[in-house]
Chains A and B, each alone.
Chain A
């Protein structure tokens, strides 16, 4: 079974500062994928970034980067130069490639508030 743990229910960051959202995972699969999604108050889940378990380089997408430490089973999201529009719930999720099915296991989320 897979498990995602996000230990920060809420985080505050000053506008233009960088912030790190923590995510640890547990899985017995050798091949898996790690995702981060953003969910504004409107409810839609917005894909931010993906990291495959065999990717050696940390993933980056604009202001988002994923700090992947496989041995520690962590996949922290780093948002650089925070903007007011970054205020939202952030979810870390995992998928397994071990079967043909595609499903995501989500963490409990971190509510990020960017302060002006």
Chain B
């Protein structure tokens, strides 16, 4: 079974631009979560999607948004990029079965650099 895939793997943008990152979950997984990892703040939860609905959102400004499609693939968008948005963005998928372990499987990440 294929793992979680993320595209692109590396991205360089300039301040003020916007960016869209993509995540394809493991087949059969309906939950997709996004995390931001920076040296200063560590790993922080951005949001989680389940069946095309955002179920939870972390403490990030409205410039960070996402969506999920009917095939469970998810995209994350960051508008008006700032230097502080430079980070590794990780996507994780899970079965999200009630009472289950909620085990999340991560993709390789997209490393975003904002100049």
Q: A45-B92, A45-B106, A95-B102 are in contact. Are A106 and B48 (CB under 8 A)?
A: no
Residue of A nearest to B9 (CB): A43
Please name all residues of chain B whose beta carbon is closer than 8 Å to the beta carbon of A93 when the two chains form the complex: 43
Q: A33-B102, A35-B103, A50-B103 are in contact. Are A43 and B111 (CB under 8 A)?
A: yes
Besides the known contacts A47-B106, A93-B43, A102-B56, 12 further A-B residue pairs in the complex with CB atoms under 8 A apart: A37-B106, A44-B108, A47-B103, A97-B99, A97-B102, A100-B55, A101-B55, A102-B48, A103-B56, A104-B35, A104-B43, A107-B42
Number of A-B contacts (CB under 8 A): 66
Find residues 43-65 in chain B having any chain A CB closer than 8 Å to their own CB: 43, 45, 48, 50, 55-56, 58
CB-defined interface of B14-56 with A at 8 Å, one 1/0 digit per residue?
0000000000000000010101000000110100101000011
Please name all residues of chain A whose beta carbon is closer than 8 Å to the beta carbon of B50 when the two chains form the complex: 100, 102
A47 vs B90: C-alpha distance when bound (angstroms): 14
CB-defined interface of A28-41 with B at 8 Å, one 1/0 digit per residue?
00000101010000
Binding site for A on B (CB under 8 A): 31, 33, 35, 42-43, 45, 48, 50, 55-56, 58, 88, 90, 92, 94, 96, 99, 101-109, 111
Please name all residues of chain B whose beta carbon is closer than 8 Å to the beta carbon of A108 when the two chains form the complex: 42
Which listed residue, A43, A91, A102, A104, touches B88 by the CB 8 Å rule?
A: A43
Min distance, Cβ B3 to any Cβ of chain A, angstroms: 9
**A42 on the interface (CB 8 Å rule)?**
yes
**A105 on the interface (CB 8 Å rule)?**
yes
Min distance, Cβ A16 to any Cβ of chain B, angstroms: 29
Min distance, Cβ A56 to any Cβ of chain B, angstroms: 16
Residue of B nearest to A107 (CB): B42
Find residues 46-101 in chain A having any chain B CB closer than 8 Å to their own CB: 46-47, 50, 52, 91, 93, 95, 97, 99-101
Which listed residue, A50, A91, A99, A104, touches B33 by the CB 8 Å rule?
A: A104
Residue of A nearest to B111 (CB): A43
- Determine if A101 and B48 form an interchain contact, defined as CB atoms under 8 angstroms apart: yes
- Determine if B104 and A102 form an interchain contact, defined as CB atoms under 8 angstroms apart: yes
A98 vs B111: C-alpha distance when bound (angstroms): 32
